A and B are shown apart, each in its own frame.
Chain A
Amino acid sequence: MSNVASEKMLEFKDVDVFYGPIQALRQVSMHINKGEIVSLIGSNGAGKSTLLMSIFGQPRASAGQIIYCGQEITKKSAHFVASNGIAQSPEGRRVFPDMTVEENLLMGTIPIGMAHADEDIQHMFNLFPRLKERRNQRSSTMSGGEQQMLAIARALMSRPRLLLLDEPSLGLAPIIVKQIFSILKDVSGTGMTIFLVEQNANHALKLSDRGYVMVNGQIRMTGTGQELLVNPEVRDAYLGGH
């Protein structure tokens, strides 16, 4: 884990985000290096999803800078961000219910066009064999785990360099979580950078190179995955205090 090039892929500099009068992010600074898996943990309402969405400008940062590969994207449109190599799988596996698995995957190509669609769909079917079996099934009829796999696969269809995942383990059985996390590890092995927002701190930190802990819209702690896993404060708050 130490051989990761320390070239910054995404950086937050003192970012503030408001929902009307409510401040959801306070002076958030963090960064993700190329090729890393970085996770962000924190309790409900800490502002994790807000941080992730602010990369797409929804909501927009009111102060500070978001820099992606050396370019400031704080004020760029969501379309610009999506078509320049950042993909996200939003919280709560938002698949298109009346579309089939294949159609959902094709929707994932919208930011970049369909030039590689066939090849990439095959690739997704190799990563997630379950999806292949269900390729013509409407996604609303699939199980939660399958929908989550589909949501991740759909995000991968735009050939991102940086993949943002918001709580991929939400509501899934431990065995499926394991499966999904091991797939993420494989994906990261191909050089993709992954930013993971998770409640499931144990799994997430084991997988990650580094992690951030967010409390009330602020970054409270940071360190390698291992460091955070053994940190007593983290253990108390997020790992059930063993």
Chain B
Amino acid sequence: MSSSINIKKSVIDTLLAGLLSLIVFGPVIGILLDGYDFTTRPSLLLTMVAIVMVGRFAISLFVQSEKGQMMLYKHQNNDDGVIVLPPGHKSKMVYIVPIAIIIGLVAPFVATKYILTVLILGLIYVLLGLGLNIVVGLAGLLDLGFVGFYAIGAYGLSLGYQYLGFGFWSMLPLAAIMAAVAGAILGFPVLRMHGDYLAIVTLGFGEIIRLILTNWTSFTGGPNGVYAPLPTLFGLEFERRAKQGGTPFHEFFNLPYDSGLKYVFIYLSLFMVVCAVLYIKHRLVKMPIGRAWEALREDEIACRSLGLNHVLIKLSAFMMGASTGGLAGVFFATYQGFVNPTSFTFFESALILAIVVLGGLGSTVGVVIAAFVLTVTPEMLREVADFRVLIFGLLMVVMMIWRPRGLVRITRTGFAVRKGVA
């Protein structure tokens, strides 16, 4: 590690970067199409190139400094697996969790309606991320059709209401169970598959669900979609006029009608469910089943040599993941008030997978952060809506270069002996 700075190298780097950016930005920024004509914008182009060159020069100098070298070294030695903390380790989460819960509970009362809807969306993706994280992150089964379970949850609420008259609270557990059953049905035939093959089959599964929803018009309403009911609070409804045979909330308490109130209520219910799922997952990981999932991901043959039934382990991972996806679907449907098949395309599966991968496979905190980053950023980028997907892609590429193992290094507390547990 030499810490002497080689200016010549930096200058060469800078010139190269400038040349490259000229080639890339030249046609994109330098030329503005105007009907059949075009105008050139040399000043804008030169500014962009200058920014890139200055940036490259600064980075080049920094990397050659002692601090930069340290960072590079750290980064290069940073991607070799999980950090395992000693079992007795008291994590800082002990302080962070209560604060997060309090902030989460207070948020809906201070946030505007718009922010609230974004938060709800964020939490829905947290649920989706957590669900897929069990399948991909913990059990190591690549599932590209996760959106199928999401759709089952969402349509479960809508169709359950339409045909059976079930409300939100009855459909919430039922949809989770339905999704879990679907998970088992998908799980059985794919148990013998690994990696790529599994990914293809699950991809097909997601598409099949979407196609059924689109084409079985008489049952699902096809592309027109179906209405989804709002949750009720002990029979009190949050719409202007009662639709489900109860009393509207605002009439009961003699309040003026506020359309934001329903979002507050959805948010709070969702927040509770997310906390419950987080807690359950936290416990599961420490139980034998959680260890079995991780063991299965790490070495299937070793698992079998311990007499573990890999069929059951895979199925349980699929079912747990699927039911969490189903829960997310129910909340999505009620939040939109309406579902149709366009919400359940492959892009959605890819987004959920991105959340899990960006978050760090297997890391719960990472998934929560990534879910918010990936749902809130697009909202903030509304002005540059045209570039959203581009920026999204760039973010992914940068992430994979700088943090190939995800935002949050998986740090887990080692498991220790627990007395009296079989």
Contact = CB atoms under 8 A, between A and B. Distances in A.
Contact of B309 (A78, A96, A140): A78
A107 interface: yes
Interface in B36-74: none
Nearest to A95: B302
B292 interface: yes
A136 B422 contact: no
A77 interface: yes
A106 B294 CA distance: 13
Interface string A96-108: 1111101100111
B84 A83 contact: no
Nearest to A77: B309
Interface string A204-225: 0000000000000000000000
A176 B81 CA distance: 28
B7 interface: no
Contact of B82 (A81, A95, A98, A158): A98
Interface string A165-207: 0000000000000000000000000000000000000000000
B417 A118 contact: yes
Nearest to A107: B295
A81 B309 CA distance: 12
Given A106-B417, A113-B422, A117-B417, A96 B305 contact: no
A108 B306 contact: yes
B260 interface: no
A100 B292 contact: no
B298 A136 contact: no
A94 B301 CA distance: 7
A56 interface: yes
Nearest to A79: B307
Given A100-B414, A117-B417, A90 B305 contact: yes
A138 interface: yes
B309 A56 contact: no
Interface residues on A, range: 35 or more
B306 A97 contact: no
A89 B305 contact: yes
Contacts of A77: 307, 309
Interface string B73-103: 0000000011010100000000000000000
Interface residues on B, range: 20 to 34
Contacts of B416: 102, 106
B307 A110 contact: yes
Given A114-B419, A136-B84, A138-B81, A90 B301 contact: yes
B309 A79 contact: yes
Given A98-B298, A138-B82, A114 B417 contact: yes
A33 interface: no
Interface in A75-90: 77-83, 88-90
B288 interface: yes
B285 to A, nearest CB: 12
A96 B288 contact: no
Nearest to B82: A98
A47 interface: no
B305 A113 contact: no
- What DSSP secondary structure best describes chain B's contact surface? loop
B304 interface: yes
B418 A114 contact: yes
Contacts of A58: 304
Interface in B264-304: 288, 291-292, 294-295, 298-299, 301-302, 304
Contacts of B390: none
A78 B307 contact: yes
A111 interface: yes
B82 A56 contact: no
Contacts of A94: 299, 301-302, 305
Nearest to A157: B306
B421 interface: yes
Nearest to A109: B417
Contacts of B417: 106, 114, 117-118, 121
A80 B308 CA distance: 10
B307 A83 contact: yes
Contacts of B421: 113-114
Contacts of A111: 306-307
B415 interface: yes
A125 to B, nearest CB: 14
A140 B299 CA distance: 12
Contacts of A110: 288, 291-292, 306-308
Q: What 9 pairs between A and B have smallest CB-CB spacing?
A: A82-B307, A94-B302, A113-B422, A117-B417, A96-B298, A79-B307, A78-B307, A90-B305, A98-B82
Interface of B: 81-82, 84, 86, 288, 291-292, 294-295, 298-299, 301-302, 304-309, 414-422
13 contacts: A56-B304, A78-B309, A79-B307, A94-B302, A96-B299, A96-B302, A99-B298, A103-B414, A106-B416, A114-B418, A114-B421, A115-B420, A140-B81
